[in-house]
């Protein structure tokens, strides 16, 4: 298995699932990013790895699959991520009207991630399409909980986007960012959580399901938050998946603590997604609960956005106080999300906000990845295009 400049993702449809599990093909993007780098030891190291054998790696986590170019949370997106060597795959988990678990980034995103507005099921949406009018932006809200599982499965996945200036449904649905593509969006096969488990098992990857916050009030028709958290775990147990292969995630610390208490084998690898808005990553005194307190609760994995883990020191990118505090407390760090910002010529936006003054182009991607891995001690990195992280991990000998 070797890295070549020739892209082979187009071969995806011709490969069976077992063939993908045994194949790694990265395409041209890692090479392109290396070519954009400033001269120096890191670039020389990465260049020296071009053409060397590749390996599947747990450092490379497929964020919703490979949504830089494929509709997220679809069979096609997941297969693409596996082909690029992602060792762990994410299914964001929510539920339908009949309380069946499905893979969607949010319970209320069907209007931007599927073709529901162009189908008869649009009439079942919480809020139908409303066109832009003057200063009022176009809007809609369609929830998985608006549909039964049978209805959900009739939808087609599309790139996550909407044109808020649209006057028509067709224009609203046609909002894909210029740096993404609709080339592979003609087919987007939606997934139940159980089907994702079966697919990931066949692809030979590990699992990191995220329990999404419901848009509906809980309990929902008698379905409590605890029922929801338990059902996620039960579907892995029913499929015979060992707990050591599963990294359940939630932004809700109570979900993580529920797993730690009630499903300890799964709970030991539960990931607390740290989205605290009042936290200053340069000041550990703002961390409440603190890293040590989280560890004492039984939390072993914590996952903030990548900007929380990096900072600038005299213009150089380095690990933040948050990263160092997590390491000192013995917490494993995972972070999100690489390649979700588009071209980095204007500083990288939200994901790179703490180092924006040093981000002047795509050549900085691997500098940030290197700091995350070598300085911050990150053990896993979510990416919208796992080829980038797979190449780095293979080159550096990461697991």
The one-digit pLDDT tens for each residue of the chain (399 residues) are 444 433 444 445 546 787 887 889 999 999 999 999 999 999 999 999 999 999 999 999 999 999 999 999 999 999 999 999 999 999 999 999 999 999 999 999 999 999 999 999 999 999 999 999 999 999 999 999 999 999 999 999 999 999 999 999 999 999 999 999 999 999 999 999 999 999 999 999 999 999 999 999 999 999 999 999 999 999 999 999 999 999 999 999 999 999 999 999 999 999 999 999 999 999 999 999 999 999 999 999 999 999 999 999 999 999 999 999 999 999 999 999 999 999 999 999 999 999 999 999 999 999 999 999 999 999 999 999 999 999 999 999 999
Distance CA 165, CA 172 (A): 8
pLDDT of residue 9: 46
pTM score of the predicted model: 0.95
* Residue ranges of domains in the chain: 9-91+191-396, 106-173
Which residue's structure tokens are 């300085």? 375
- Enter the DSSP assignment of 64: T
pLDDT of residue 15: 60
Phi and psi at 239, nearest 5°, equal -85, 0
Query: Could you tell me if 58 and 87 are in contact, meaning their C-beta atoms sit under 8 angstroms apart?
Result: yes
- Is residue 92 within a helix (H) or strand (E), and if so which, with residue range? strand 92-95
List CB contacts of 347: < 8 A, sequence separation 6 or more. Answer: 356, 357, 359, 360
Distance CA 98, CA 100 (A): 6
Which residue's structure tokens are 């499903």? 263
9-91+191-396 has which CATH code? 3.20.20.190
For 2, other C-beta atoms within 10 Å of its C-beta total 11
pLDDT of residue 235: 99
Of residues 127, 59, 67, 66, the one with CA closest to residue 88:
59
């Amino acid at each position: 298995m070797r890295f070549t400049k020739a892209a082979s993702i187009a071969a995806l449809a011709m490969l069976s699932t077992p063939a993908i599990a045994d194949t790694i093909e990265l395409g041209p993007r890692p090479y392109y990013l290396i070519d954009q780098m400033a001269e120096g030891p890191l670039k020389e190291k990465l260049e020296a790895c071009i053409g060397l054998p590749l390996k599947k790696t747990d450092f490379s986590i497929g964020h919703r699959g490979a949504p830089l170019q494929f509709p997220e949370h679809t069979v096609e997106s997941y297969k693409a991520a596996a082909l690029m060597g992602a060792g762990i795959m994410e299914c964001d988990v929510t539920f339908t009207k009949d309380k069946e678990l499905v893979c969607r980034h949010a319970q209320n995103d069907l209007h931007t991630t599927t073709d529901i507005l162009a189908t008869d099921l649009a009439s079942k949406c919480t809020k139908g399409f409303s066109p832009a009018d003057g200063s009022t932006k176009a809007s809609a809200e369609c929830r998985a909980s608006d549909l039964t599982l049978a209805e959900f499965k009739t939808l087609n996945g599309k790139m996550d986007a909407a044109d808020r200036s649209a006057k028509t449904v067709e224009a609203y649905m046609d909002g894909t960012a210029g740096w993404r593509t609709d080339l592979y969006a003609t087919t987007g096969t939606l997934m139940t959580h159980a089907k994702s488990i079966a697919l990931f098992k066949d692809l030979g990857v590990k699992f990191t399901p995220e329990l999404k916050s419901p848009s509906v009030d809980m309990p929902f028709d008698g379905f409590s938050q605890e029922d929801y958290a338990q059902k996620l775990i039960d579907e892995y147990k029913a499929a015979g998946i060992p707990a050591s292969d599963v990294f359940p995630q939630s932004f809700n610390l109570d979900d993580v603590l529920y797993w730690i208490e009630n499903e300890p084998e799964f709970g030991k690898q539960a990931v607390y997604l740290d989205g605290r808005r009042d936290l200053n990553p340069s000041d550990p005194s703002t961390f409440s609960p603190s890293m040590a307190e989280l560890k004492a609760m039984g939390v072993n994995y914590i996952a903030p956005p990548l900007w929380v883990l990096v900072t600038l020191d005299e213009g150089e990118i380095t690990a933040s106080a948050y990263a160092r505090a997590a390491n000192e407390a013995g917490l494993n760090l995972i972070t999100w999300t690489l390649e979700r910002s588009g071209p980095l010529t204007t500083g990288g936006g939200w994901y790179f906000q703490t180092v924006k003054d040093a981000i002047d182009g795509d050549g900085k991607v691997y500098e940030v990845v290197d700091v995350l891995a070598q300085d911050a001690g990150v053990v896993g990195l979510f990416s919208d295009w796992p080829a980038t992280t797979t190449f780095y991990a293979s080159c550096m000998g990461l697991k």
